[in-house]
């Protein structure tokens, strides 16, 4: 996942449209590299980051109470699935 994507969660019986923006770096002479950091915003306001380990398995949420652990886990699961799907789409067969 190299571009921003929107994800909707239901929290307190209300829909919240969260924009997930991966932090990428350009490697000289190569493509974009995903850092494992995903910035979360709602209506343009930062609500923290989800930061993954090198294998995209373990994660932590850096926000200060904007999302519950369960909300952050749902978003982290979505990111993991999206990244796996994107990787499969880019495989050379």
pLDDT by 10-residue block (mean), the chain, 93 residues: 90 92 84 86 94 91 88 95 76 47
Give the model's pLDDT for residue 88.
Answer: 67
Give the model's pLDDT for residue 19.
Answer: 97
Give the model's pLDDT for residue 4.
Answer: 94
Using CA atoms, how far apart are residues 12 and 39, in angstroms rounded to an integer? 22
Give the model's pLDDT for residue 55.
Answer: 83
Give the model's pLDDT for residue 90.
Answer: 57
Domain boundaries, the chain: 5-84
Give the model's pLDDT for residue 89.
Answer: 64
Taken in order 38, 40, 45, 46, is the CA torsion positive or negative? negative
Give the model's pLDDT for residue 43.
Answer: 92
């Amino acid at each position: 996942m190299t571009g921003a994507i929107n994800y909707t969660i239901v929290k307190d019986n209300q829909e919240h449209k969260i924009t997930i923006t991966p932090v990428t770096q350009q490697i000289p002479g190569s493509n974009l590299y995903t850092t494992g950091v995903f910035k979360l915003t709602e209506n343009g306001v930062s609500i923290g980051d989800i930061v993954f380990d090198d294998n995209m398995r373990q994660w932590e949420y850096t926000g200060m109470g904007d999302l519950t652990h369960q909300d952050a886990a749902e978003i982290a699961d979505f990111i993991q699935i999206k990244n796996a799907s994107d990787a499969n789409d880019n495989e050379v067969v």
